[in-house]
């Protein structure tokens, strides 16, 4: 009986020491700035639904006595769930430095996140009682999203030429941290002069006119803009003249997008389309559909892509004065897709 009583007393003292050690701990979260996985450099603005991590320091002052073990988990908690937790094991008094994993939630200007120390591994719910809130660090961090754009389809009511148009597509744009530069080699910011074949009246699926990803952060760098030009270019050109024509098309579009940002939308209404129509086209060649599209508020495009990750837009018809002896003015419309490349279905990661 005395032996059992002694064991119980020792266990109670040990539990008390553990509690005192836990109560004396502080969690410093280094500003809760996310760091890339696999790197100690940072911080960064994470992309939604990707894995990142938070740097932290856990300190125990040794209230339970020198050499007291401290074990548990440091967990990142956002408004939806616990994330995978980082195991912790060290002795008090002392410090422990580590990184807590975090699966970034939906893009936001200020996504709330909390770091907690948990003596035992928690469940999935954020109200798990096993975690010690008194050593939690709480703040918020921006989370970005990635978007892409494609010209998905073309509708032809009337060609520019008498019969077939040889269709090429240029599309360029971005978040406009810098002006998009176009070359004959496609890039994330520009596809220039993508050939789609010979077509008469009807419709066609476009295969080669996709740009992105563009990374945008709500409340920081707005949304994004892009421009497109569909044109007939079937009359026969040398390589140098062809390259000059397609470069002129993308250059005019790029300048118009930049002007739109600097001077406002009304400053570029119309002139850039006529500039393209008055390039040195041969025969019945020239523009078929030209336009600029701007998403000026990130929340707008986020809301439109929340359900499925993408949405399609059918443009009105475009008309340009064709050359004498060609078909009537061309009548074209487009379908473009805005794709939220970082999107995940509702409940992802829970």
Q: Which segment, 65-69, 87-91, 245-249, 304-308, is predicted with the most confidence on average?
A: 245-249
Give 139's pLDDT tier (boundaries 50, 70, 90): confident
Using the Cα atoms of residue 189, residue 194, residue 196 and residue 198 in order, give the sign of their dihedral. Answer: positive
Tens digits of residue pLDDT in 142-197: 899 999 999 999 999 999 999 899 999 999 998 766 678 888 889 999 999 999 99
Residue labelled with tokens 């707005």: 222
210: β partners: 150
E-strand ranges in 176-218 read 190-199, 202-205, 210-216
Tokens for 336, please give them. Answer: 């473009």
b/e 148-181 (16+ beta carbons within 10 angstroms → b): bbbbbbbbbebbbbeebbbbbbbbbbbbbeeebe
CA distances from 330 to 155, 158, 225, 288, 324 (A): 11, 5, 26, 6, 13
CA distances from 281 to 212, 236, 275, 292 (A): 29, 10, 12, 22
Pair 177, 160: CB distance under 8 Å = no
Tens digits of residue pLDDT in 200-240: 999 999 988 999 998 888 887 667 889 999 999 999 899 99
């Amino acid at each position: 009986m005395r032996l059992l009583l002694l064991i119980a007393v020792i266990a109670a003292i040990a539990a008390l020491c553990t509690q005192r050690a836990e109560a004396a701990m502080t969690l410093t979260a280094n500003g809760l700035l996310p760091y890339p996985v696999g790197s100690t450099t940072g911080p960064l603005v994470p992309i939604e639904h990707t894995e990142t991590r938070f740097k932290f320091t856990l300190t125990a002052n040794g209230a339970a006595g020198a050499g007291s073990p401290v074990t548990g988990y440091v967990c990142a908690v956002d408004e939806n769930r616990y994330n995978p937790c980082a195991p912790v094991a060290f002795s008090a008094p002392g410090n422990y430095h580590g990184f807590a994993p975090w699966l970034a939630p939906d893009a936001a200007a200020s996504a709330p996140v909390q770091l907690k120390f948990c003596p035992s591994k928690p469940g999935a719910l954020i109200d798990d009682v096993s975690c010690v809130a008194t050593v939690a660090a709480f703040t918020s961090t921006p989370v970005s999203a990635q978007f892409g754009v494609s010209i998905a389809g073309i509708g032809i009511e009337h060609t520019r030429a008498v019969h077939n148009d040889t269709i090429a597509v240029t599309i360029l744009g971005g978040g406009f941290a810098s002006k998009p530069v176009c070359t004959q080699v496609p890039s994330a910011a520009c596809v220039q002069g993508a050939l789609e074949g010979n077509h008469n009246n009807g419709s066609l699926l476009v295969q080669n006119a996709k740009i992105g990803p563009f990374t945008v952060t709500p409340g920081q760098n707005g949304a994004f803009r892009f421009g497109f030009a569909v044109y007939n270019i079937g009359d026969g050109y040398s390589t140098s003249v062809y390259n000059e024509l397609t470069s002129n098309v993308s250059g005019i579009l790029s300048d118009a997008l930049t002007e739109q940002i600097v001077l406002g939308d009304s400053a570029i209404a119309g002139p850039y389309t006529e500039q393209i129509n008055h390039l040195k086209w041969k025969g019945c060649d020239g523009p078929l559909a030209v336009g600029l599209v701007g998403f000026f508020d990130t929340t707008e495009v986020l809301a439109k892509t929340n359900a499925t990750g993408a949405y399609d837009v059918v443009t009105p018809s475009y008309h340009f004065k064709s050359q004498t002896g060609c078909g009537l003015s061309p009548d074209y419309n487009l379908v473009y897709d805005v794709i939220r490349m970082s999107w995940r279905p509702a409940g992802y990661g829970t």
